[in-house]
Chains A and B, each alone.
Chain A
Amino acid sequence: MKIQNQRQVYGEILLELARVNKNIVVLEADLGKSTMTSLFEQEFPERFFEMGIGEANMTSFAAGLSLTGKIAFTNSFAVFAAGRAFDQIRQGISIPKLNVKIIGSSAGLSDFGDGATHQSVEDIAIMRAIPNMTVLVPADGIETRKMVRKIVEYDGPVYLRINRHDLPDLFPENEEYVIGKSYLIRDGRDIVVFANGIMVSKAVEAAEKLEEEGISVRVVNVSSLKPVNESEIKKFAEGVKGIVTAEEHSLIGGLASVVTFILRGNGIPVIPVGIEDQFGQSAHSYNELLEEYGLTADNILNSVKNILQ
């Protein structure tokens, strides 16, 4: 299976699109070699704005650029892009529905060494709560490329969450990406796992192990948390004995909230896998953290079995 780095893919597709679309402008808050906007900066310095360590100003400045017809991409770590600039996103961008794309990089626990201050466990909840905002979490490099292409075409504010690490390709290469749509990654009969981001690959891993034990698991990539096509989610949950949700985010306000709200009242048991109401911490590797917080294929596997017991 091919492995790609999401932020590298993001930097490359942004540059590729900017060669054609002269309205694309990019803003950075001193993390360009992490977010990979450095690729854009090298080729289009006149459309690149280094805003220093000032996410609030960067975000409102992006609003101003969009008011002159630009498609403005703001870039920082997710925790700052969504958290530090919340009011600027809410007031100046989301109320008037401006064409600003907020890129939350090194999201979730993926900035493992820097600890709680740099790990975003609540960014999706914050962004989802803002009216007019679109919230997207790609599962791999293929989907990242398709999503960036699509959000350039879409006129309005978008929050896009990018992982820092290499992820295996899972998204069907020939499938068209549509904002709001959920994607069947692997079909199965007994249990459906709704996942996004890195947890899609963990869900596939769990499904493969469970198949050997005769348990058939359907894996659905809910990469669009807002908007989300509700009837699709209901359809994917038809005929199964249980549901597992899996996300690299707080259980408050993310994928578990989206899915359980849509499926409320249908009586199917649900086990949510995600980060309990707590902050992250430093570790020497990403995997250590994922294990510490239960964001593993094994945890998904056990959740599936618990439902079936």
Chain B
Amino acid sequence: MKSDKLFKIVLLLFGVLILAFSVGIFLQLFSGAWKSIQQNGILFLIKQVWDPNQEIYGALPFLVGTLVTALLSVIFSLPLSIGSSLFLNEYIKGGWSVIISSMIDLLASIPSVVYGLWGLFVLVPYIRIVENWLFQNARLIPLFNSEPYGVGILSATVILLIMILPYSISVIKEVLKMVPNDIKEAGYALGANKWEVLQKIVLPYIKSGIFAGVGLSLGRALGETMAVTMVIGNRNALPASLFDPANTLASVIANEFYEASSTLHVSSLIYLALVLFVFSFLINFMMRLILKRINAGMIRK
């Protein structure tokens, strides 16, 4: 049928267009970063010094800052998002569930800059109290070994945690709804209580959903700029502990791009953008592979 073929072509066109955007962005970033790539090569990723005055550039501090804050926030979000989703789906009924879900969705619509301001003026003083306590009492643990400023990796992680919760909660909630009732009832029939059914039957069933939620959250956490830059302390050096100020790829680009005047400086900042782009792509790709494996495993069962 002619309209069928037309439909197919139009859809193909849209797909190709989106692909073209991604490839286009990559090529543009690559050409912008070319000067820095020539100068620094792939070793850029492990060079530690970022000094625009001396024209020495290295991405390691920002790579570490980005990965640490993103991964920590995602790891801490797991129990919170799984817990809230289970609570919303299994433990409260109807109206309340809808109200609370809407409030969680509201969290996702708060602008990043507002999170940053709130973080700086409300969250950071509390974090500083926690950091001071840990510094006094648990200083021997290397993670808590630096002078507590309040702003730093810990504050950035907590802010990211709050920002990514709505994404993983919404994905996990949807997957929970799709768990067939009969396997749950089979569990109850065998004498399991509610907690055992959830822990041993439902959670393993939605493994892929949890993973997808994690992937989505990680993607958001890696790229978050404004909120992070306001509470991370903006220090272009490797953090040695949770309390140290640091910097992320997105944050340093936001801070320095406007004023960078030397071509090598601009090119190095674009190189950082390229690194972020490639890293996000790789992490997403890996997530999809693992997801595929999990799903294949489920089908075999």
- Co-complex (A, B): no
